[in-house]
A and B are shown apart, each in its own frame.
Chain A
Amino acid sequence: DIQMTQSPSSVSASVGDTVTITCRASQNIGNWLGWLQQKPGKAPKPLVYPASSLQSGVPSRFSGSGSGTEFTLTIVSLRPEDYATYYCHQTSTFPRTFGGGTRVDIK
């Protein structure tokens, strides 16, 4: 199985900050990588898929990059509504696997 490793597991940031989350795959997954945002008590919401394609309606302060085994999600000018847990996931092979999540909370 492909292991997806996210770092950091949590980050404290202030409104207006830039936050970068890294996701590493244990083997080459091309650009078959997605990012999800989950707020407490809510379902995950797709942000980016594949790798660098922003989903419709997602603010442009979010961006995804990378290919192969290393990927990043960057949030510039952090807003209050961005405080959430972010997950990466791969769709290159079965079983599909997810990263452990990165919690972004208020500093």
Chain B
Amino acid sequence: QLVESGGDLVQPGGSLRLSCVASGFTFSNYEMNWIRQAPGKGLEWIAYTTNSGNVLQYADSVRGRFTISRDNSQNLLLLQMTGLRVEDTAFYYCANSVLWGQGTLVSVSS
């Protein structure tokens, strides 16, 4: 399973770090993604890492503000978010090709 944490209420311009802990499968074999969903809206892919972490990709909406990383020794996927904006408010999911986490809510508001 995948379990996200770290979501919180933060002011515009603030920072937050999301974590996703994997269990029950060989984490280091899987490419991983962060995907978000604003309340009542559709799905938006925001970041990707290869299984080794040597190739990273970002959506234009978050490039330069968000950083994806992973620690395969701890079965851990991270998303460092800086310069948060009101429009970043969403449920954030970690996911691979066969499994999604339950999500963690990030709210950006003054």
Q: Which of A42, A46, A96, A98 has the most CB of B within 10 A?
A: A96
* Contact assessment for A43 and B43 in the assembled complex, using a CB-CB cutoff below 8 Å: no
**Which residues of B in the span 57-110 have a Cβ within 8 Å of any Cβ on A?**
57, 59-60, 93, 95, 97-103
User: What is the interface size of chain A, counting residues whose CB is below 8 A from a CB of the partner?
Assistant: 21
Cross-chain contact of A96 among B45, B60, B99 (Cβ < 8 A): B45
Contact A34 B43 (CB under 8 A): no
**CB within 8 Å of B: which of A21-37?**
34, 36
Q: Is the interface of A mostly helix, strand, loop or mixed?
A: loop
The interface residues of chain A lying within 8 Å CB-to-CB of B98 are 46, 49, 55-56
The one of B42, B99, B100, B101 in contact with A101, judged by C-beta atoms closer than 8 angstroms, is: B42
16 interchain pairs, CB-CB under 8 A: A36-B43, A43-B93, A43-B100, A43-B102, A43-B103, A44-B43, A44-B100, A46-B97, A46-B99, A49-B98, A87-B43, A89-B43, A94-B48, A94-B57, A97-B45, A101-B43
Known: A43-B103, A91-B97. 9 other contacts (CB 8 A): A36-B43, A36-B100, A43-B102, A46-B100, A94-B48, A95-B45, A95-B57, A95-B59, A101-B42
